[in-house]
Amino acid sequence: MIDNLMEYDSVTLVACNERDELIKVLTDFDIKVTAIDYDKKFEDKYVCKDFVFDEVEFGECVVHFNCEKTYPLGKIYKGDMVLIGDDQGHNGDPNPITSVQDLIEQNNITEVFEKQSWHENGVTHYLVWGTNK
């Protein structure tokens, strides 16, 4: 994924939890990185907002790490995005992702640059890099 992000000047990470390593790598390549997460434990280092409900600024590309937990990014943002979600069905998840097609359709992706899925600890993860511009 890091290679994909190298072509942008600014990247926004949403619902990202701990991503210190990724942020460091991107920043080292002079990419402006903004991380947004409403969990107060990140308030010292991230923008502590809910990107779905609050007013936030997005970069050239938005990386959503937990699509299963939120309203689809593509319904509130137009542009390039990397969408990652899983089918775990945690009891807080309103939107379990069961295929790359789910991600494409929910976010109105019109052009797919890359897609993949992988299996880990009984959970299938899905990734789509694309745009809805």
Partner 1 sequence: MNFYTFKWGTAYGPEYVNRLYGSLLKHYDKPFTLTCYTDDHIGIYDDVIIKDIQDLRPWDTDMVFTFEKLILIEKEESGIWFDLDILIHKNITKVIEEQAVGDFKMIYNHWNDYYTKSVRCCGKCSSCHINSSMVYFNNPEWLTTFTRDNWDKISFTYKSLDKYMFYQHHRTDRLKFWDNTVAHSFNYGDDAGTLSNHVSLFNTSHIKANKLSDIVYELHEAGNEVTKIWKSYD
Residues that bind partner 1 (CB under 8 A): 15, 17, 37-41, 50, 52-53, 66, 69-71, 90-95
- Return the number of the residue (40 or 119) whose C-beta is nearest partner 1: 40
Closest separation in Å from C-beta 40 to partner 1: 7
- Return the number of the residue (10 or 88) whose C-beta is nearest partner 1: 88
- Return the number of the residue (31 or 47) whose C-beta is nearest partner 1: 47
CA–CA distance, 123 with 133 (Å, rounded to integer): 31
Count of C-beta atoms within a 10 Å radius of residue 133: 10
Buried b (16+ CB within 10 A) or exposed e, 75-102: eebeebbbbbbbbeeeeebeeebeebeb
Closest separation in Å from C-beta 123 to partner 1: 14
